[in-house]
Amino acid sequence: MIIDLPDTTVSQVAKQLVSVREEGGAVALGRVLTLVIAARNGVAEAAIDAANDASREHPMRVIVLTTGEGEAHLDAQIRVGGDAGASEVVVLRAYGDAASNAESLVTGLLLPDAPVVAWWPEEAPTDPASSPLGRIAQRRITDAATSPDVRDRLALLGRTHSPGDTDLAWTRLTHWREQLAAVLDQPPYEPVTRVEVRGAAASPSTALLAGWLGLALDVPVHWAYEDPAHWSEGIKSVRLTRPSGDILLERPVPGSAVLTQPGQPDHDLHLPRRTLRECLAEELRRLDADVLYGRVITEGWEKLGPPETAA
């Protein structure tokens, strides 16, 4: 069910939500959090779709805020039932001066006594934690992959990092980190003496994986961007050098990887690029600060030198 509320106020939207709930269209008591999405119109629907999918694991209220130029007014839309997954979605489209105070537009619609997560699917504030929406959120989700210069964006995220910040470029690394940790947890238990990471120039995950390995293994990390003609999607390969030989985890084509280890047959692995829904659902599973990400985006990034030129 979709309810349109043109030229409205936050108070009227809140009253309509109560009315919908009383009529049995939605039950707010089962919601575990409020997800606030700040997005422009072009990406808002994709973000809503991902939130609706994630809501089946995390029932929530989703508040979507988009802003635009023009005469000051607020249009709203409430989606419940089949149009909102296991959540209730409130879309706020603020124009002109009505968009000048994002915090006031959102606070009247937050679920009482429930955690707040702020998500910027595309362009994020310079300092998410001190932004109007970031100040009311326990967790703040950004995506460095949407920046035109991923290295500058990662450096900025490191300088402005506050506990509770996270980035989907880090979340996309979960399966890579699991595979590498599993390999190193098997004999022979030899120290890693060298690390090499390669990936696409548009992939901030490449740098974050290199930073994580440098911190975890306490060794210098060599990382390089692949020629776009040969690789243009995410991470390409990780090579770990030990006295008995190299461990190579390589993705020859998107979606599939090959694990090569000394004295063992090659293993074919399913390693696809994670979907937006998967990454969002993972981030919503924890509402405390991601301490490891904080170390990687600050300490790991500071230790990481510039990328090398791929051969």
**CB under 8 Å to 301, separation ≥6 — which residues?**
154, 155, 158, 207, 211
pLDDT at residue number 310 = 63
CA separation for the pair 133, 104 (Å, rounded): 9
Q: What is the pLDDT of residue 53?
A: 92
Length of the chain: 311
CA proximity to 35, closest of 291, 299, 283: 283
pTM tops 0.85 = yes
d(CA 27, CA 44): 24
pLDDT tens for residues 25-67? 445 456 889 999 999 878 899 999 999 999 988 899 999 999 9
pLDDT string in tens for the chain (311-residue length): 899 999 999 999 999 998 988 776 445 456 889 999 999 878 899 999 999 999 988 899 999 999 999 999 999 999 988 766 768 999 999 999 999 999 999 999 999 999 999 999 999 999 999 999 999 999 999 999 999 898 999 999 999 999 999 999 999 999 999 999 999 999 999 999 999 999 998 899 999 999 999 999 999 899 999 988 878 889 999 999 999 999 999 999 989 999 999 999 999 999 998 999 999 999 999 899 999 999 999 999 999 988 986 65
pLDDT at 119: 98
Q: What is the pLDDT of residue 24?
A: 64
Q: What is the pLDDT of residue 81?
A: 81
Q: How many C-beta neighbours within 10 Å does residue 30 have? A: 9
Containing 107, the helix (H) or strand (E) segment is helix 102-107
pLDDT, position 41: 79
- Give the per-residue pLDDT at 186: 92
DSSP code for 87: S
Rounded Cα distance between 19 and 13, Å, is: 10
Report the pLDDT value the prediction gives residue 279, as an integer from 0 to 100.
Answer: 97
Structure tokens, 84: 């909102």
What does the pLDDT read at residue 27?
Answer: 52
Cα–Cα–Cα angle for 250, 253, 258, rounded to 5 degrees: 35
Helix (H, G, I), strand (E, B) or coil at 276: helix
3-state class percentages of the chain: helix first, strand second, coil last, to nearest 5 = 35, 30, 35
